[in-house]
Every structure is written in C-alpha cells, then in structure tokens.
Amino acid sequence: MKKYKHPSYPLYLLPVLLLLCQSCVVQKLDYTPYSQTDYYRKTLAGLDTLADRTATCDTLKAGWAKVNITPPAGTPLAGYGKRKGMKYTAVHDSIWVRTFAFDNGTKQTYFVTLDMLIAPMSVAAELEAKYKSINLQPDQVYLAATHTHTSFGGWGKKLAGRMMAGKYKKQVVRQTAQYIIQSIKLAQANLQPAKVGYGTANGAAFVRNRLTGSESERDTTIRFIKFEKHNGEQAILCTFASHPTILPSMQPILSGDYPSVLVRRLEQDVSFAAFSAGAVGSHSSVYSHGDSFESTEEVGQSIAQSILAVASEIETVYTSELQYRRLPLHMPEPHWRLGKKKRFAPGLFYTLFGKYDAYVNSLQIGNTTLLGVPADYSGEFMPLLEATAAAQNKHVILTGFNGSYLGYIIPDEHYNLKKYEARAMNFYGPSAGSYLTFILQKLLAK
C-alpha cells in the first residue's frame, strides 16, 4: 500500500491563502457603545431577575481556617510566560488557602482566598463538581486570590494557560480543590458570634500606576474588615491594589510574595489574617531593595504595620445582615489586539485561551460590600465604586480573580496606549472598563 503524502504547495501561494481566509484570522475592532449591545442587555436582564439572597435573622457568626496547599517540588510556577513551564526547586513560603465562613442562622456563605496567581478556572470547575456533596451552591462561595506571580501552576489547560502556568497537572487541580473543601469545613466548624468593623489605611508609599505614571489616578487605600469573636479572637481580611510581582521572574523558588509576609506579620497580633488582591490592574509595588525577598519583607511588613496602627481604633458591632449574589457576566466577542485597528478573530482567541463563563460576586457583611471580578481590574475605577457605595451608606471592597479570567480591565481612555495592559492583555475591547464598572455600580445599588 502506498503511503499517503501531504500535497506540497509553492510557498508563493501562502500569502494568497492567508489573504483569502483573512476574515478567519483578523477582524476590525468593534467600537459599538456597550449600551447598544446584546451582551449588555443580557447582563442587565440577569441582574433584574437575580435571586434575592438577603438574609436578616440571628446575629452573624464568623469562622475561619487555613490549609496548606503547597504541592511537591517540581510543580511549575505560574505568572510569567517567559518561564516556559519552569518548575520550582525550593520553597520560601508555603502556599495556603484561607477561608472565612459566615452564618446568620438562615444562610451560610464563604470567602475563600488562595495564595495563587488566580483562582484557576480548572480548580473552580472541580470545586463546583464537589459543592453538592457538602450541601453548597456555587453562589455561596466567593473565590479570590492574592495574585502572587511566584506561586504554583499546573492548572492551565489551553495553550495560553500552559504558557503562564506550565504543563497541566490533573492531580494538582484535584488536590487544590480538596484542600479548599477542607478549609470550608474547618471554617464552618469554627463559627461563633462575631462583631464586624470596616477600616482603611494609607498605602500611598507602596503603590504606583505603572500604566500612566499618574500620581493622582491610583488606588492608594488599604481596605480591611476586622472581626471579633465573643471569646476575644480577632481576624483581619485585607486588600490592596499593589501587584505582587516583586520577586525575579526566573527564580525557581515558590513564594507568596509580599502578601505572605503581610499575613504572617498580622497574625503576630491577631488570631487569623487573610489577604486578597484588590484593584491591581495597572498598579504595581514600590520598594527599595530590588527584586528580592528583602523587598517583599519591606512591603509586607509596612502594609501590616499600617493596618495594625489603626485596627485597634476600628469600632466593631454585631450585625445580622448577610447577603450574597452571583451575577452571570455576558461579554463582547474577544478583542485580542493586532496593532491599532485590528484584532484576532474570536475563534483564534478561544483556541489559545479557552472559552469560560464569567460572573461577578457580591458579598455584603453588615454595611460593607465585597465585589469579586474575574480580571485585573484597574484601581482607577475605585472612586466611582466608592461614590456609588457611599450613596447606599455602604463601604466597598473589590477583589479580583474569582474563578474565571477576562484579562486587564482598564479605563476606556487608555485603550490606545502602547502598553502591555492595553494591547496584549486587554481581551474585550475599547469599552470593557466602562461596561464592567457600570455593572458593578448597578449591583451595588441593587
């Protein structure tokens, strides 16, 4: 039998073939205002019909727990494509999942933050398959991450995910999900009546706007919630907008970057502490000892001291108000940029990155609302969200990386900047920033 051979075409025909199928690879950018689109109308319709998860009943109980989720050495790192799947050989910081449980007698909900780049889509899917076994619905679990770029990978299935997080390892995904479930159970078992208070500290010395260099257009506020149980135990859940990208990208050492230092220092004074990345899009850390562990110590210790300096003055009160929601977020077709006026076709984007459902979370504890987004969301939007929350007599805390990923969400006016955040990592077009911010404002007002 003759062996089949692929036909050979002259190389000069390749440009012709590419030209003929250009629409399959390259398309024009779409500047249609989001308010005139189907995806906007679908998201608004979902918001209008969103189930009311408000539950006002008994005094709020809170519990907390942490579980070490560090996988074995030889697991790839996650955070930089140029690592090409590099595996870590040493551990500087153990990697943890830290979980808060909340219960007011009628409803229970959980805040889960991981010492990872993101809460990965593969881990979120594995979790959703397990929730039923512990009598939970997906909207009861609010996922977040510290966004350290030196934690473990092995969770990306598509090509782009493997470039950022190394070769996919099913066992790592399963084990991570199991540890998260364990932390939920432990936090639930630790529930006790608790007072709640909201606080802020000044973090201006530790953050810069790396996209524009603006001093005024940056989120400099360290936000935190303080919990006090009747037995005297205290916990702090804090966020900040500074990217945990201090350590060298090609150093094969597992670390939580400055967030690990931060929570360790807080836990010298309180029973439990957890950190989640805030509106880190376009924001990075300021430090003085180069890309080193000295700098992670400097930033983590300084932020912790800023919180502790004001934490004792924060008034805490008993509350019965507990509310949680999960809103499906419909998005435009991907606008992965190719120059100033073109984008790659959506099919090519999905092939490389995958196609995932997106959603936003809200969790209200007393008069503080947490909003969870699937993105590097820019700190430049925080004044808008805070004004909306203030009009409702609320405080607002934003966290990122909630189990899906939409890339960088930046202000529309920065869309044409020749910067990494605006070109390579802006996946959803020129109005993605104003669209998502509008939806978050509507969710706050609801």
Q: Flag whether pLDDT at 198 surpasses 60.
A: yes
pTM: 0.93
Which residues, other chains included, contact 54 with Cβ-Cβ below 8 Å and sequence gap of 6+?
321, 322, 323
Q: How confident is the model at residue 1 (pLDDT cuts 50, 70, 90)?
A: very low
Q: How confident is the model at residue 446 (pLDDT cuts 50, 70, 90)?
A: confident
Q: Is residue 335, in this structure, part of any structural domain at all?
A: no
What are the C-alpha distances in Å from 84 to residues 116, 119, 160, 255, 334? 18, 21, 11, 18, 25
Residue 375's H or E segment, with its range, is none
Number of domains in the chain: 1
Q: Is residue 105, in this structure, part of any structural domain at all?
A: yes
Q: Is residue 234, in this structure, part of any structural domain at all?
A: yes
* Beta carbons of 274 and 263 less than 8 angstroms apart: yes
Dist CA 230 CA 242 (whole Å): 33
Mean pLDDT of 211-233: 96
Q: Is residue 227, in this structure, part of any structural domain at all?
A: yes
DSSP annotation of 24 reads: H
**Which one has a higher pLDDT value, 1 or 261?**
261
Which residues, other chains included, contact 8 with Cβ-Cβ below 8 Å and sequence gap of 6+?
none
Q: Is residue 24, in this structure, part of any structural domain at all?
A: no
Mean pLDDT of 333-349: 90
Q: What is the pLDDT of residues 398-417, one digit of tens each?
A: 999 999 999 999 999 999 99
Q: Flag whether pLDDT at 154 surpasses 50.
A: yes
Q: Which SS3 state, helix, strand or coil, does residue 73 take?
A: coil
Mean pLDDT of 97-109: 96
Give the orientation angle of helix 257-266 with respect to helix 293-311, to 10 degrees: 40
Q: Is residue 77, in this structure, part of any structural domain at all?
A: yes
Mean pLDDT of 423-442: 96
Q: What is the pLDDT of residues 356-385, one digit of tens each?
A: 999 999 999 999 999 999 999 999 999 999
Q: What is the pLDDT of residues 41-61, one digit of tens each?
A: 999 999 998 866 555 688 999
Which pLDDT score is estimated for 52? 63
Dist CA 133 CA 178 (whole Å): 12
Which pLDDT score is estimated for 181? 98
- What is the domain extent for residue 172? 59-318
Q: Is residue 329, in this structure, part of any structural domain at all?
A: no
For the chain, what's the residue count? Answer: 446
Mean pLDDT of the chain: 93
Dist CA 35 CA 192 (whole Å): 45
Q: How many other CB atoms sit within 10 Å of the CB of residue 132?
A: 10
Q: Is residue 123, in this structure, part of any structural domain at all?
A: yes
Dist CA 119 CA 123 (whole Å): 7
Which pLDDT score is estimated for 11? 46
